[in-house]
């Protein structure tokens, strides 16, 4: 889901950068001292998650974990994903520096959207929480794919073709991430409820 350098035109790049900057500002404002560690750890998990490949047909798909970041961090997913993408671009040459804004915007907006859609469900008990977590993880990938396709709509590839390619390649990823997110959320809710309640209750 990392778009490479040189694919998109300048207006799209600027739009992405603007969205990313706004999201990062919003995330940083909501990030207090107690959440720093969670943000750093999940950012590191995102960073490493991209190295885990799920073999599917001709395409190359890897874990994204943006749904998980959305579920736990809410708006703080923006700075977390930005940091991870920056390091991936510098150390692994994934994506690139000029396209950092677009990549952050596509993956982090999906995370925040999922946070708002599914956090009511995840605050419930038992099965509902598992279901909420699964949907959050799966839809994180789904929305990120759609946003990525939307930003490719203005390139040669076109929205429909790109969306088709991305979504087909990422169906297994969606399932895997749904499971990972559901298990992580239910584990955190039992073992470390304050981590989840941080963005549910006392968000400033």
Partner 1 sequence: MKLRTELRPGCICVVMLLMLTALPAQAHRVNVFAYAEGDRITVEAGYSKSRPVMGGTVVVADKADGDEFLRGVTDDNGIFVFTVPDAAKKEKADLRITLLAGEGHQDSWIVQAGEYAAETAPRDAAASGVTYSGRGAAGSGQAGAAAGAQGGHVSVDEALLRQVVEEVVERKIAPVRTMLVEQHESGPGFADILGGLGYFAGLFGIAAYLKSRRR
CB under 8 A: which stretch of 19-27, 91-99, 116-124, 126-134 binds partner 1?
91-99
Q: Does 25 bind partner 1 (CB under 8 A)?
A: no
Choose which of 27, 195, 196, 199 interacts with partner 1 (CB under 8 A): 195
Nearest to 41 by CA among 80, 90, 82, 75: 80
3-state secondary structure string across 128-186:
HHHHHHHHHHHHHHHHHHHHHHHHHCCCCCCHHHHHHHHHHHHHHHHHHHHHHHHHHHH
Question: For partner 1, which is the closer residue by CB, 28 or 116?
Answer: 28
Q: Does 178 bind partner 1 (CB under 8 A)?
A: no
Q: Tokens at residue 131, please? A: 């279901």
Question: For partner 1, which is the closer residue by CB, 17 or 44?
Answer: 44
CB under 8 A: which stretch of 17-25, 111-119, 121-129, 190-198 binds partner 1?
190-198
How far is residue 193 CA from its own chain's centroid?
Answer: 22
Q: Does 105 bind partner 1 (CB under 8 A)?
A: no
């Amino acid at each position: 889901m990392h778009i490479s350098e040189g694919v998109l035109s300048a207006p799209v790049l600027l739009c992405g950068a603007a969205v990313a900057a706004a999201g990062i500002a919003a995330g940083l404002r909501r990030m207090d001292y107690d959440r720093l560690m969670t943000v750093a750890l999940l950012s590191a998990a995102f960073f490493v998650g991209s190295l885990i490949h799920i073999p599917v047909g001709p395409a190359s798909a890897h874990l994204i974990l943006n749904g998980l970041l959305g579920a736990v961090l809410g708006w703080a997913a923006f700075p977390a994903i930005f940091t991870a993408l920056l390091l991936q671009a510098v150390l692994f040459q994934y994506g690139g520096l000029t396209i950092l804004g677009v990549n952050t915007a596509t993956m982090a907006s999906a995370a925040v959207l999922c946070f708002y859609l599914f956090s009511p469900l995840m605050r419930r008990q038992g099965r509902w929480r598992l279901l909420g977590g699964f949907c959050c993880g799966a839809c994180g990938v789904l929305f990120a794919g759609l946003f990525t396709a939307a930003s490719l709509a203005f390139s040669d590839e076109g929205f429909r073709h790109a969306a088709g390619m991305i979504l087909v390649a990422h169906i297994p990823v969606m399932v895997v991430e749904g499971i990972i997110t559901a298990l992580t959320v239910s584990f955190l809710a039992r073992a470390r409820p304050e981590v989840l309640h941080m963005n549910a209750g006392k968000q400033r």
